[in-house]
Structure 1
Amino acid sequence: MNKEKLLIIGNGMAGVRCVEEILELDPLRFDITIVGAEPRPNYNRILLSKVLQGEQGHKDIVLNDWSWYQEHNINLLAGEQVSELNPENRQAITASGMVIPYDYLVLATGSAPFIPNIPGTEKEGVITFRTLDDCENMKRYALTYRKAVVIGGGLLGLEAARGLLHLGMEAAVIHNAPYIMNRQLDAQAAGMLQQELEGLGMTFLLDKHTARITGRNRVKELRFTDGSRLGVDVVVLAVGIRPRMELAERSGIRTSRGIVVDDYMRTSVPAIYAVGECAEHRGISYGLVAPLYEQAKILARTLCDSNPEPYTGSIPYSQLKISGIDVFSAGQITGPDTEVAVQHYDALSRTYKKVMQRHGRVAGAVLYGDTTESAALLSMVKTGAAAEQLLTRSSDHNEDQLGIRGMPLEEIICACNSVSKGQILSAVDEHRLQTVQEIKEKTRASGSCGGCRPQVSVLLQLAKDGKTNQAVKVKEGLKPVCSCTDKDHATLHSLISETVIHHEDIKSLTMHVLLQQLGWRTPDGCPVCRQAITFYLRMQDVDVQVLSPECLHAETEASAPWVTGIKVWLDPGLKKCEFYEQAQSLSSTCLARWIDVPLPDHLSAAITLLSGSSVSLLVHSIGISVSPAGWEVYAGGHSAHPVKESQLIGVAEEVEDVVELASAALQLYRQSAISGESIWQWVERRGVMEIRHHLLDESSRQALAIKLYRSCGRPAKANVNLEKMEGLCYGEA
């Protein structure tokens, strides 16, 4: 069987990532040729600043060396350029005259530095910062010249300026806005960053507009529109990029800001696709690595006929890559209808955090000094999480380990490559990984911009120290739900949550439509996945009866994959002690608030004395006992095989506080358990430290408890007469 010919024009990160995805999906499908303009293998352009700053060498940023192309029988034409396309005959002609036939063509031509319309940009000493050759030019100039200026105070410009300082040059940044990185930061964060960079020796001229670059043949001076001048030896232009689309334009392919593509990365010409910085999707061209990789995955699935989900766009984010300075930005920082949800400034530790909301949803975030929360906040921005969920995050993120340990398994650690905490833990456990480099090789986490490397390092150390018991337990959760999909329970759970948040009219949703949106292989699923889906919807408090009955089949309320309510056992021995009236009030309040709550499994609660009781506290799902400190609350006990002892999750003095703590624990279990998971399994998988992390934070605990009360349609302060409440049990359990 003859293989189809696939031609990739561009040996950069987007084009080669598409090839990597194809090799994983269907390695024998295509005869692949890659044409690359640079005379070298694929490398990580994002880390050029690390090369310039002396932290890494050329070899350190190579993503795929020469041997990789040979191992996968890829024909790499390095140092070659395609000058002409013949779409009718499906041929590409190179500048050297080679004719390359193709069945499918991918334009991954990337972008070029934007050259502003300033007289004098053609003079010697005026350079850009885009390739390894540009890094070499800067190093060469640094041997002879002293004064350097970077025009552009954005992310790339600041990284270039820091590299010039490392090379021993003076570095001044010229920016046409009132503060640096004005597209990613607010004035507060930008001011903190500028002060830090000035401490390194960088200088700034803000609100400055360059009128011309002067000098006979070589740059000598900058002249500004306000009449001032600045002597200079080297000028680095870092004012943005523009998609390389000249080849597409000459070939009759539709272009606008970039090469126009649809949701499956198809251009206007059959059999020709575009991906990466050269592509324009829904009016946007992305210059960040995460969107490029997302596009590459969808394009690979399109080419391999693997039922791709449509690409709907990406959330932009930035992470500054200057040694010792941590800055993160994602989503909308300013704009109409946005307002501050959370803002915190600590002058002593020089940390700053601001989270923006729009219509009650998390819309953007800025972090300075401590970027531990970057992955979690980016996930919230991407999913449009409810702003009230910010309350469930710990207010203390000074300890990196605490922040990482508290993350759920499905939370993304590496945004560039979409690698979750669970995937990293699974790889560490399965392959006995010992270093961050090994994790990068197995999962790609920290393999692009490197911004998540500290989180990956902390996660690895936690796994080594045995401080997260998720490493072994995660494997079961990552298995596909059923043969209808490749998605695991954690992913399905997350997607269902997003659907509930973003679906305009959840009551109009049918199982058939939902399965289509989830990318299911079969139109109606199977009993296994239908039960899992109805379970996750019900735990999101969606009335599953709105789903089409013909698809639900036997998944009726009577056989639903959840149970309603919880039995509460009251220790008769309490009648003899002074706390009996409080225990009665506690029993009736708990039962009133929990009686109609849908739960993942059959649960029981026990209210008893700490010792000498006929009711065994430690083998109940929820245990509440009288103690010298007030009331102790336990979770995760199991009386049948295997017998499990419940774990202490908190202490409270007042009855209302006890109910709130126990209710918050139940809600945390409801919203994070996987289908069919009992509470003792959930406690073992999540870990008691992580559970306490959520419950002992007051705002988090209150938000969880209120959500539980709302799930059964009862007011938060509901109460009932103990004698009239059915299901309350006395005696031994």
Structure 2
Amino acid sequence: MNPVTIIGSGFAAYQLVKTLRRMDQQVPIRVITADRGHDYNKPDLSHVVSRQQTSQQLISTAAEIFASEQNIELCTEHRVEDIDLDKKAVFANEQRFDYSNLVLATGAMPFIPPIQGLRESGPITLNSLKEFDAFSERLTKANSILVIGGGLIGVEISMDLALANKQVTVIEAGQRLMGNQLPELVALKLEQSFDQLNIDTRSGETVTKVSPSESGYQVKLGNGEQLNVDEVLVCAGLVPNTTLAKHTGLAVNRGICVDESMQTSENNIYALGDCAEFGGQVRAYLQPTVVSASALAKTLLGELTAVVLPKMMVKVKTPKYPIQIAGTTSDSQVHRWNLDIQSDGIVAKAYNKQEVMIGFVATQDKTKQAFPLLRELSA
């Protein structure tokens, strides 16, 4: 029997491996990855600077040990060039690998905005262990860092940099931090916590040009102001890695299109994690991947299982102003907010036009109410 073959070695790939192994000790599994294949906790990248960790310290299980413990064939530093649908074979490093079922867990790459000189300047990104390994020395040496993007990841990393005594400037094109997830008052409170850490927050502002300078980078803003910083770090979102899927002829929209069983437009080929588009959405969070991996493992073992995503919660890793979010909290879908404002935090409940609660945001000590709120949301 040819193995279940997984392309990629990020969280989604290894979550599927672990789930398959819990269900079946014998089914052959092969993982093909362009990386070194170490298992690590990706969310740790959001606070790696303040903790002064090295890339080696982030590794929870080295590749060789992981392969042995999970009883899998692990092909590291193998870049897949082609998939032959008729032969059910993958080609990488001039080798052929036959498969029974194939799972694309190719992840996503950082979006680099089309800003003059930005890509050419080689900005820092922190979306993987490999990227942290490449940029950790630059991050350590830098005193001043400009962060492009004030969404969830940009906010987490900016606070971590400030806690490591870096001079941080955040440029966010929207009118407030985490504008797609937080009501205005909560975003204001978050910005106030940034002020207390001496983070220079520039909401409603853009970067128009990035140029190397003798001491680092010169950054020109949309208002004409010029800033000089040691480093530029980009947190402007992610782009699903769909190149291989497109080359293979699979249906691709923003991500690789999958049905409720995570199957692509081709039989016996599935997609999972940041590269997959399920129900018209790419869900770049851990919880949806865990649920999807559990269902997909059953399907791969012969029990066709649909993915049913429950209401899920996101914990924002901002220790000076803790936030938990669940459900739908985007202004475009929220008809009204109900805010309970206390000295120890805020609970903001989101309602639609039918007066049905569709999401919530809890901050500071009120995050202790997050699980009861989640039960209320799921009722």
The TM-score with structure 1 as length reference comes to 0.49
| Residues 1:118 and 2:115 are matched in the alignment | yes
Q: How many residues align?
A: 375
Separation in 2 of the partners of 1:303 and 1:93? 21
C-alpha displacement at 1:301, in angstroms?
0.9
Separation in 2 of the partners of 1:337 and 1:108? 32
Give 1:361's match in structure 2, choosing from 343, 356, 364.
356
**Identity across the alignment (%):** 26
C-alpha displacement at 1:270, in angstroms?
1.6
C-alpha displacement at 1:81, in angstroms?
1.8
**Corresponding residue for residue 9 of structure 1:** 7
Where 1:328 maps in the other structure, the secondary structure is: strand
| Residues 1:326 and 2:342 are matched in the alignment | no
Separation in 2 of the partners of 1:114 and 1:317? 24
Structure 1 counterpart of 2:102, one-letter code: L
C-alpha displacement at 1:51, in angstroms?
2.0
Give 1:239's match in structure 2, choosing from 230, 236, 244.
236
Separation in 2 of the partners of 1:227 and 1:242? 29
C-alpha displacement at 1:63, in angstroms?
4.8
Cα 1:138–1:378, aligned 2, differ >3 Å: closer, same or farther? farther
C-alpha displacement at 1:307, in angstroms?
4.6
| Residues 1:109 and 2:106 are matched in the alignment | yes
Give 1:71's match in structure 2, choosing from 58, 69, 72.
69
Kindly indicate whether the alpha-carbon contact (under 8 Å) linking 1:175 and 1:206 is maintained by their aligned counterparts in 2.
Answer: yes
**Corresponding residue for residue 138 of structure 2:** 141
| Residues 1:260 and 2:257 are matched in the alignment | yes
Separation in 2 of the partners of 1:324 and 1:56? 20
Aligned pairs (5 A) from 1:160-559: 160-215=157-212, 220-308=217-305, 310-313=306-309, 315=311, 317-333=313-329, 334-336=331-333, 338-340=335-337, 342-346=338-342, 348-349=343-344, 351-358=345-352, 359-370=354-365, 371-381=367-377, 383=378, 385=379
C-alpha displacement at 1:194, in angstroms?
1.2
Please state which structure has a larger fraction of its residues in helix: 1
Structure 2 counterpart of 1:115, one-letter code: I
**Corresponding residue for residue 513 of structure 1:** none
Bigger relative contact order (CA 8 A; separation at least 6): 2
Separation in 2 of the partners of 1:254 and 1:222? 39
Separation in 1 of the partners of 2:29 and 2:159? 39
Kindly indicate whether the alpha-carbon contact (under 8 Å) linking 1:126 and 1:219 is maintained by their aligned counterparts in 2.
Answer: no
Give a deviation string over 1:556-610, Cα, whole Å, max 9, x none.
Answer: xxxxxxxxxxxxxxxxxxxxxxxxxxxxxxxxxxxxxxxxxxxxxxxxxxxxxxx
Kindly indicate whether the alpha-carbon contact (under 8 Å) linking 1:139 and 1:167 is maintained by their aligned counterparts in 2.
Answer: no
Separation in 2 of the partners of 1:59 and 1:219? 27
Cα 1:221–1:74, aligned 2, differ >3 Å: closer, same or farther? same
Kindly indicate whether the alpha-carbon contact (under 8 Å) linking 1:151 and 1:236 is maintained by their aligned counterparts in 2.
Answer: yes
Give 1:97's match in structure 2, choosing from 94, 97, 101.
94
**Corresponding residue for residue 33 of structure 2:** 36
Separation in 1 of the partners of 2:282 and 2:140? 37
| Residues 1:45 and 2:42 are matched in the alignment | yes
C-alpha displacement at 1:184, in angstroms?
1.2
Kindly indicate whether the alpha-carbon contact (under 8 Å) linking 2:335 and 2:350 is maintained by their aligned counterparts in 1.
Answer: yes
Cα 1:125–1:59, aligned 2, differ >3 Å: closer, same or farther? closer
C-alpha displacement at 1:39, in angstroms?
1.4
Structure 2 counterpart of 1:20, one-letter code: K
Give 2:22's match in structure 1, choosing from 21, 24, 41.
24
**Corresponding residue for residue 83 of structure 2:** 85
Kindly indicate whether the alpha-carbon contact (under 8 Å) linking 2:193 and 2:320 is maintained by their aligned counterparts in 1.
Answer: no
Cα 1:63–1:264, aligned 2, differ >3 Å: closer, same or farther? farther
Kindly indicate whether the alpha-carbon contact (under 8 Å) linking 1:210 and 1:224 is maintained by their aligned counterparts in 2.
Answer: yes
**Corresponding residue for residue 51 of structure 2:** 54
Worse-matched range after superposition: 153-162 or 249-258: 153-162
Where 1:123 maps in the other structure, the secondary structure is: helix
Structure 1 counterpart of 2:350, one-letter code: M
C-alpha displacement at 1:322, in angstroms?
2.8
**Corresponding residue for residue 461 of structure 1:** none
Kindly indicate whether the alpha-carbon contact (under 8 Å) linking 1:6 and 1:105 is maintained by their aligned counterparts in 2.
Answer: yes
Cα 1:217–1:80, aligned 2, differ >3 Å: closer, same or farther? farther
Give a deviation string over 1:258-310, Cα, whole Å, max 9, x none.
Answer: 111000011111211111110111211111111111111111111112352x2
Kindly indicate whether the alpha-carbon contact (under 8 Å) linking 2:163 and 2:197 is maintained by their aligned counterparts in 1.
Answer: no
C-alpha displacement at 1:122, in angstroms?
2.5
Structure 2 counterpart of 1:17, one-letter code: Q
Cα 1:230–1:56, aligned 2, differ >3 Å: closer, same or farther? closer
Where 2:175 maps in the other structure, the secondary structure is: coil
Where 1:128 maps in the other structure, the secondary structure is: coil
C-alpha displacement at 1:343, in angstroms?
2.1
Separation in 1 of the partners of 2:104 and 2:94? 19
Kindly indicate whether the alpha-carbon contact (under 8 Å) linking 1:109 and 1:244 is maintained by their aligned counterparts in 2.
Answer: yes
Cα 1:153–1:316, aligned 2, differ >3 Å: closer, same or farther? farther
Cα RMSD of the aligned pairs, angstroms, is 2.2
Structure 1 counterpart of 2:74, one-letter code: L
Cα 1:125–1:267, aligned 2, differ >3 Å: closer, same or farther? closer
Structure 1 counterpart of 2:20, one-letter code: I
C-alpha displacement at 1:73, in angstroms?
2.0
Give a deviation string over 1:483-510, Cα, whole Å, max 9, x none.
Answer: xxxxxxxxxxxxxxxxxxxxxxxxxxxx
Cα 1:316–1:174, aligned 2, differ >3 Å: closer, same or farther? farther
Give a deviation string over 1:65-92, Cα, whole Å, max 9, x none.
Answer: 4323213321112222212111111111
Give a deviation string over 1:159-203, Cα, whole Å, max 9, x none.
Answer: 222333344431110001111011111111111111112212211
Separation in 2 of the partners of 1:239 and 1:101? 38
C-alpha displacement at 1:242, in angstroms?
0.8
**Corresponding residue for residue 132 of structure 1:** 129
Give a deviation string over 1:621-651, Cα, whole Å, max 9, x none.
Answer: xxxxxxxxxxxxxxxxxxxxxxxxxxxxxxx
Separation in 2 of the partners of 1:89 and 1:357? 51
Cα 1:52–1:37, aligned 2, differ >3 Å: closer, same or farther? farther
**Corresponding residue for residue 670 of structure 1:** none
- Consecutive unaligned residues in structure 2, runs of 5 or more: none
Kindly indicate whether the alpha-carbon contact (under 8 Å) linking 1:344 and 1:353 is maintained by their aligned counterparts in 2.
Answer: yes
C-alpha displacement at 1:379, in angstroms?
3.5
- Consecutive unaligned residues in structure 1, runs of 5 or more: 386-733
Give a deviation string over 1:685-726, Cα, whole Å, max 9, x none.
Answer: xxxxxxxxxxxxxxxxxxxxxxxxxxxxxxxxxxxxxxxxxx
Cα 1:134–1:235, aligned 2, differ >3 Å: closer, same or farther? same
C-alpha displacement at 1:61, in angstroms?
4.5
Separation in 2 of the partners of 1:123 and 1:216? 13
Where 2:181 maps in the other structure, the secondary structure is: coil
Cα 1:55–1:322, aligned 2, differ >3 Å: closer, same or farther? farther
Aligned pairs (5 A) from 1:602-617: none
Runs of 4+ in 1 over 6 A off after TM superposition: none
Give a deviation string over 1:127-146, Cα, whole Å, max 9, x none.
Answer: 21112243345431245432
